[in-house]
């Protein structure tokens, strides 16, 4: 079945550092790709998405580009802030069986120190 | 509020007991999902409801797990004869139509602990 592999971390950075969280996927067909974020004490929130190859999703300074040739959707941010500390999940939409269920990576915990 | 609401937020029960977890989706959302978040397995899909269609139950881990959605709105996830490995955070999500371009909105989850 479809699967998502992301670097598990934890990742610890200083404020204003550059962030990359790697995500690769295995899928039949052409899934949509997502990054979700879970801030401490809060629920999962959609951060950004891309629905087809070469699309770039962006939000709150974060970006990720859907790379079909490398089956990747790496998350990047040029300058992280303390408020970005959270757990980040890469996910794809699996349309097998008729549902649009999400298949998640195991999550990457990011801690940003001042 | 306007978001997905789950209850209870925490549930502690003894092994072998049955539990019911409730999800109130965003009003008007036709698609509803249950996921489980556990330390060992990460986030796993459990079941999907879309309108009046038959649910996709392919993620339910055993026949002790069942879910229903009444009137196309509120959903209840039931776990019978709970086991310690059922301890996890159970998340509910809804979306307006279930299509890939409709984001899933998650509730805060129910943290289930089996003693």
Q: Which of A27, A75, A69, A33 is nearest to A51 (CA)?
A: A33
Q: Do A107 and B59 touch (CB under 8 A)?
A: no
B72-108 pLDDT per residue, tens: 799 999 999 999 999 999 999 999 876 666 789 999 9
For residue A86, what are its two tokens?
């959270």
The minimal CB distance from A43 to the residues B99, B100, B107 is found for B107
Give strand pairing partners of B113.
Answer: B12
Q: Do A89 and B43 touch (CB under 8 A)?
A: yes
pLDDT of residue B100: 64
Question: Which of B42, B50, B54 has the highest number of chain A CBs within 10 A, making it the mutation to test binding with A?
Answer: B42
A93 within 8 A of A30, measured Cβ to Cβ? no
A72-90 pLDDT per residue, tens: 999 999 999 999 999 999 9
Q: What is the mean pLDDT of residues B23-29?
A: 94
For residue B21, what are its two tokens?
């977890």
B89 within 8 A of B36, measured Cβ to Cβ? yes
Please give, rounded to a whole number of angstroms, the shortest distance from the CA of B99 to a CA of chain A.
6
Least confident of A8-17, A92-101, B86-95: A92-101
- Nearest-Å Rg of the Cα atoms of chain A is 14
Residue A98 has pLDDT above 90, yes or no: no
């Amino acid at each position: 079945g479809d699967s998502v592999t992301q670097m598990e971390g934890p990742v610890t950075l200083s404020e204003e550092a550059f962030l990359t969280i790697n995500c690769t996927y295995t899928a039949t067909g052409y899934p949509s790709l997502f990054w979700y974020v879970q801030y401490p004490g809060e629920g999962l929130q959609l951060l950004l998405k891309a629905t087809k190859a070469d699309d770039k999703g962006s939000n709150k300074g974060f970006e990720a580009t859907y790379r079909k040739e490398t089956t990747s959707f790496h998350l990047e941010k040029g300058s992280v802030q303390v408020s970005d500390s959270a757990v980040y999940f890469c996910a794809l939409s699996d349309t097998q069986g008729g549902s649009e269920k999400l298949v998640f990576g195991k999550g990457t915990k990011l801690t940003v120190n001042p | 509020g306007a978001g997905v609401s789950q209850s209870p937020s925490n549930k502690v029960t003894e092994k072998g007991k049955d539990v019911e977890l409730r999800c109130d989706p965003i009003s008007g959302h036709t698609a509803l999902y249950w996921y489980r978040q556990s330390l060992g397995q990460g986030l796993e899909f459990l079941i999907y409801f879309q309108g009046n269609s038959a649910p996709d139950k392919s993620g339910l881990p055993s026949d002790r797990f069942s879910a229903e959605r009444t009137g196309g709105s509120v959903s209840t996830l039931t776990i019978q004869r709970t086991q310690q490995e059922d301890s996890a955070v159970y998340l509910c999500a809804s979306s307006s139509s279930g299509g890939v371009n409709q984001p899933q909105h998650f509730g805060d989850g129910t943290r289930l602990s089996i003693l």
